[in-house]
Amino acid sequence: MARVLVLNATYEPINVCTLRRATVLLLKEKAELLERRDGAVLHSERMAMDHPDVIRLTNYVRIPREAHRRKITRRAVLARDSWTCQYCGSTKSGLTVDHVIPRSRGGLSVWENIVAACASCNRRKGNRLPREIHMHPAREPKAPPPTVFIQVASPKIPVAWQQYLPQAA
């Protein structure tokens, strides 16, 4: 399914939408085309238009800054940790999430206590503390940047999007 990066009027990335939604925004002149997919054209009975890859809204949309911090999902944790086990560095499929301080030992389900872990590291660590088994996360877990939703929607960031994403540039 084709995905399109949506930028606010200030060029700040705010969403990833479907090709259909992006086309509607362009046709209603609620957005302008910034990047087009090379060689791809959309056809209807009466018109043809370039296949959008990045669009920018014509009017500014206010986005609550803390909205992304409330949603702790498995995919968001994996995206924040770049789909990499924080204990061994594995990028194999089938990653899980691990509480650094296990919930059975008083750990909370907060961004600062959850990391991506491969199944074998997660089993090996079990309900022990990192210092007890000498397994420390490669990076200290913290709340992700606001653009984590883009990584969740599109794990492989298209080249055309990179100049609009702060950490990808």
**Residue 169 falls within a domain, yes or no?**
no
The pLDDT > 70 percentage for the chain reads: 94
Q: Are residues 111 and 158 in the same domain?
A: no
Q: Are residues 101 and 47 in the same domain?
A: no
What is residue 66's predicted lDDT score, i.e. its pLDDT? 64
- For residue range 76-133, list pLDDT tens digits in order: 899 889 899 999 999 998 999 999 999 999 999 999 999 999 999 999 999 999 999 9
**Residue 141 falls within a domain, yes or no?**
no
**Residue 140 falls within a domain, yes or no?**
no
Tell me, yes or no, if the pTM score tops 0.75: no
Domains in the chain: how many in total? 2
What is residue 57's predicted lDDT score, i.e. its pLDDT? 97
**Residue 88 falls within a domain, yes or no?**
yes
What is residue 65's predicted lDDT score, i.e. its pLDDT? 67
Q: Are residues 82 and 109 in the same domain?
A: yes
- Using an 8 Å Cβ cutoff, are 89 and 137 in contact? no
Mean pLDDT (the chain) is 89
Q: Which domain holds residue 19?
A: 3-63+146-162
Q: How confident is the model at residue 168 (pLDDT cuts 50, 70, 90)?
A: very low
For residues 156 and 100, the model is more confident at 100
Q: Are residues 115 and 155 in the same domain?
A: no
Q: Are residues 58 and 88 in the same domain?
A: no
- Three-state SS across the chain? CCEEEEECCCCCEEEEEEHHHHHHHHHCCCEEEEEEEEEEEEECCCCEEEEEEEEEECCCCCCCCCHHHHCCCHHHHHHHCCCCCCCCCCCCCCCEEEECCCHHHCCCCCHHHEEEECHHHHHHHCCCCHHHHCCCCCCCCCCCCCCHHHHHHCCCCCHHHHCCCCCCC
**Residue 46 falls within a domain, yes or no?**
yes
**Residue 138 falls within a domain, yes or no?**
no
**Residue 139 falls within a domain, yes or no?**
no
First to last CA, the chain: 25
Q: Are residues 40 and 16 in the same domain?
A: yes
Q: Mean pLDDT lowest for which of 4-8, 29-33, 140-144, 156-160?
A: 156-160
Q: Are residues 123 and 153 in the same domain?
A: no
Closest alpha carbon to 38 in 160, 161, 164, 150: 160
Q: Are residues 34 and 20 in the same domain?
A: yes
- Buried residues in 148-157 as b, exposed as e (16+ CB within 10 A): bbbbbeeeeb
- For residue range 50-79, list pLDDT tens digits in order: 999 999 999 999 877 665 556 788 988 998
- Using an 8 Å Cβ cutoff, are 70 and 121 in contact? no
**Residue 167 falls within a domain, yes or no?**
no
Q: Are residues 107 and 52 in the same domain?
A: no
Q: Are residues 101 and 129 in the same domain?
A: yes
- Using an 8 Å Cβ cutoff, are 63 and 13 in contact? no
What is residue 36's predicted lDDT score, i.e. its pLDDT? 92
What length is written for the chain? 169
Q: Say how far apart CA 55 and CA 149 lie, in whole Å.
A: 17
CATH number at residue 108: 1.10.30.50
